[in-house]
């Protein structure tokens, strides 16, 4: 539920492309921000206290198939909250607009 909630929030942000559209997927969300390097997005999120992973994500072949070289990935699990998903989305709004 939480990853679906976060996905809906992040997909609504102009300049962000969520990668993949599988109907059944695990609780990770990979995305790119137009005009921004994934490492820079990761650093900006880290400055806001949000931990993500960026780079090839051990999925280089899949990323190439999706038309990107690198991406950012947020993972959700039982200890994450809706407030944390909202914080991620809020930070991404600011990052995408800068």
Q: Supply the CATH number for residue 69's domain.
A: 3.90.1150.10
Which residue has 């809020």 as its token pair? Answer: 90
Full strand arrangement of the beta sheet holding 16-18: 16-18, 28-33, 71-75, 53-55
Structural domains counted in the chain:
1
Distance, in Å, from the CA atom of 4 to the CA atom of 43, rounded to the nearest integer, reads 24
Per-block mean pLDDT, blocks of 10 residues, the chain (98 long): 91 94 78 97 98 91 90 93 97 97
Structural domain containing residue 63: 2-97
Q: What is the CA radius of gyration of the chain?
A: 12
Q: Is the model's pTM score more than 0.95? A: no
């Amino acid at each position: 539920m939480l990853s679906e909630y976060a996905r809906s929030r992040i997909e609504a942000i102009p300049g962000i492309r969520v990668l993949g559209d599988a109907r059944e997927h695990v609780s990770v969300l990979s995305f790119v921000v137009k005009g921004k390097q994934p490492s820079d997005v990761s650093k900006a999120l880290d400055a806001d206290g949000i931990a993500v992973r960026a780079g090839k994500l051990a999925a280089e072949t899949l990323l190439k198939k999706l038309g990107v070289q690198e991406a950012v990935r947020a993972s959700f699990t039982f200890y994450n909250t809706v407030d944390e998903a909202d914080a991620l989305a809020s930070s991404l709004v600011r990052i995408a607009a800068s």
